[in-house]
């Protein structure tokens, strides 16, 4: 019985075909052998040939840009806070109008607040009803503004579409008003500057990409 142990297998060292140096790595994309003279680049815990790295890095950066959870840009944050602040101001206005509606009685004229002579609230036909509707309208618009601000801040696609809808609606109404003024020869030429800004801003490619991640 032959008890001779087999000779251990000796691996032939692999040499780089370009620099004739021992191979230390293999490219994670093309699989070519790499030595120190090849100047390989480590990226995402793998080793790449320099010629193969750029497309890989570009794809990784693209995937990162499209991945969910990325913070909105400063422009989106500023627009969102404009809506939020406007909503808070309208809510405060609604509270003020509601306070006048509830606590301005016949013996407490509005003129005492402004230092001028104004009719007493109860002497104005429909004064309290008008204040009630104005306060409720302020609360409703305030809620919409705050919800839109929060939606924009979280890059919700629905919020972007609602803002664009009302912006285009304002532009169309302004265009109709211009046509009426042109025919009548008198009136105020309203230019919806903020609506046009919103249409431009939310139609930009980089902004649309931020909202494409959340429905």
Residue 64 lies in a domain: no
99 and 171 co-located in one domain:
no
Q: Are 137 and 161 in contact (CB under 8 A)?
A: no
pLDDT at 56: 56
Residue 19 lies in a domain: yes
170 and 192 co-located in one domain:
yes
141 and 212 co-located in one domain:
no
- Which residues in the chain come in under a pLDDT of 70? 1-13, 54-70, 104-124, 187, 213-215
pLDDT at 62: 59
Residue 61 lies in a domain: no
Q: Are 71 and 60 in contact (CB under 8 A)?
A: no
pLDDT at 92: 93
136 and 96 co-located in one domain:
yes
pLDDT at 79: 94
- Whole-structure pTM value: 0.58
Phi, psi of 86, deg, nearest 5: -60, -40
Residue 68 lies in a domain: no
How many domains would you assign to the chain? 3
């Amino acid at each position: 019985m032959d008890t001779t142990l087999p000779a251990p297998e000796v691996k032939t060292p692999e040499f780089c075909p370009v620099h004739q140096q021992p191979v230390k790595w293999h490219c994670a994309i093309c699989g070519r052998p790499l030595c120190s003279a090849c100047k390989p680049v480590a990226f995402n815990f793998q080793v790449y040939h320099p010629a193969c790295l750029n497309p890989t890095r570009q794809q990784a950066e693209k995937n990162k840009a499209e991945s969910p959870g990325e913070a909105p840009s400063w422009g989106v944050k500023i627009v969102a806070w404009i809506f939020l602040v406007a909503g808070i101001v309208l809510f405060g206005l609604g509270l003020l109008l509601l306070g006048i509606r509830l606590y301005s009685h016949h013996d407490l004229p509005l003129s005492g607040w402004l230092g001028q002579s104004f009719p007493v609230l109860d002497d104005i036909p429909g004064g309290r009803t008008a204040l009630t509707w104005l306060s409720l309208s302020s609360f409703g618009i305030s809620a919409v503004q705050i919800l839109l601000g929060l939606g924009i801040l979280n890059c919700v696609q629905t919020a972007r579409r609602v803002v664009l809808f009302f912006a285009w609606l304002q532009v169309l109404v302004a265009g109709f008003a211009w046509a009426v003024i042109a025919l009548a020869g008198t009136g105020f030429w309203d230019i919806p500057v903020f609506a046009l800004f919103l249409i431009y801003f939310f139609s930009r490619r980089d902004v649309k990409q931020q909202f494409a991640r959340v429905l």
